[in-house]
Amino acid sequence: MKSSFLRYAIILGLLSAIGPFAIDMYLPALPFIGADLAAGENAVQMSLLAFFLSFALFQIVYGPLSDMWGRKLPLYMGIGLFTVASIGCALATNIETLVAFRFLQGIGGAAGMVIPRAVVRDMHTGVQAARLMSLLMLVFSISPILAPLTGSAVIHFFGWRGVFWAVMIAALIGLFLLSTQLEETRPKEARAESSLRSALTAYGILLRDRNFMVLSMIGGFGIASFLVYLANSPFVLIDHYGLTPTQYSIAFSINAVSFFTVSQLTGWLGSRFGLVRVMRMAVTGFGITLAAMVVVMGAGFDQLPVLAAFLFVGYGFLGLVIPTTGVLALEEHGEIAGSASALLGTLQFVISIIAMIVAALFFTGKPLPMAAGIAMCAVIAFAVTQLTIGRRPVEVGAAAE
């Protein structure tokens, strides 16, 4: 049982990491892409935004497909498209072509983000689901920890185009694992009850479910805080603070280590205190830490160690927020786990995209606007929690115990 638990965590974690791998490995390349393709910072960031946009919106498509066709076939489709789009990105000769193929790449990568969560819900609920989700996230951590470092090395030897050949290879490995190691977890009899009409009905149910929407928002603003940092940090840390791409990758990885190390406590803390209580505590720590970061930096402490210390602590708390909100949101929706996982992912990434756009409007290349955007997301997550879950319990069955 334990070996099977670990095997699924490794496979699902690696499949989930393929899309983010194409983000994190890409970050050190942003200044080089702009120089090579004669594109400004905003145009280069559009290639990142295009990926996020399709990555967010098409999760809502893969969810119902995985309910109707099973979990594996949509994964084949998505990762296959991701592979082809990666080749297109590697061969792009102008920023417009790169943006277009990044959009297609995001469509494919969305499958790896949404379907593994549904597989977790197929197999487990409550604290056991939280344990598997946190273990999956530990494997998933290979992307933000190793991808920027790998990206820096690839860029050094092969240029920025080498990044896309590398993510193509990662996608091929994912297809191999999918075909040889992952069993179908959506039985045929369950698929028979799923259709496009039932998917639309499911989305209607979910959109009217207060608990699902609140938990999606809290997790969404948590993810948004990280993605605002992700979109702006290459320019702040490399251009403003003068880090090399390798040094930037190390700094980025340290935050990821904090996030995923603390996430491993989710199952233990959840079994002792209940997932809802753990989530409340984590959101509180998350909001207070990052709000304090802006106050301190606004007082004139514009130093990289100050920024790094607050982010390390804040993203540690976020490591508890994301798995608990995800498990609690899906807890009561096992029959429509694919659709629920899809809508959860779409809502969270739409929130993140809006936050990234707003942050971009105020971005000056300096640390304080980036820090303010990060903190604003954390404070909103805290406020939503206090106004809803902080005042009355969420009814999520065993997961709340």
d(CA 328, CA 270): 11
The pLDDT tens digits of the residues spanning 178-193 come to 888 777 777 776 666 6
Query: The tokens 């179908």 sit on which residue?
Result: 184
The pLDDT, as a whole number, for residue 192 is: 60
d(CA 135, CA 193): 31
Of residues 342 and 61, the one with the higher pLDDT is 61
Q: pTM for this one?
A: 0.74
d(CA 381, CA 220): 8
Of residues 245 and 329, the one with the higher pLDDT is 329
The pLDDT, as a whole number, for residue 297 is: 93
What value does the mean pLDDT take over residues 41-47?
79
Q: What are phi and psi of 386, to 5 degrees?
A: -65, -35
CA distances from 13 to 134, 141, 203, 262, 388 (A): 10, 8, 26, 17, 31
The percent of residues above 90 in pLDDT, for the chain, comes to 31
pLDDT at 316 exceeding the cut of 50:
yes
d(CA 255, CA 250): 9
pLDDT at 1 exceeding the cut of 50:
no
The CA-CA-CA angle for residues 350, 92, 235, to 5°, reads 55
Q: How many other CB atoms sit within 10 Å of the CB of residue 31?
A: 18
Burial call 60-70: b when 16+ CB within 10 Å, e when fewer: bbbbbbbbbeb
The pLDDT tens digits of the residues spanning 347-399 come to 888 898 899 888 888 888 889 999 999 999 999 999 999 988 755 444 444 44
Q: 226: helix, coil or strand?
A: helix
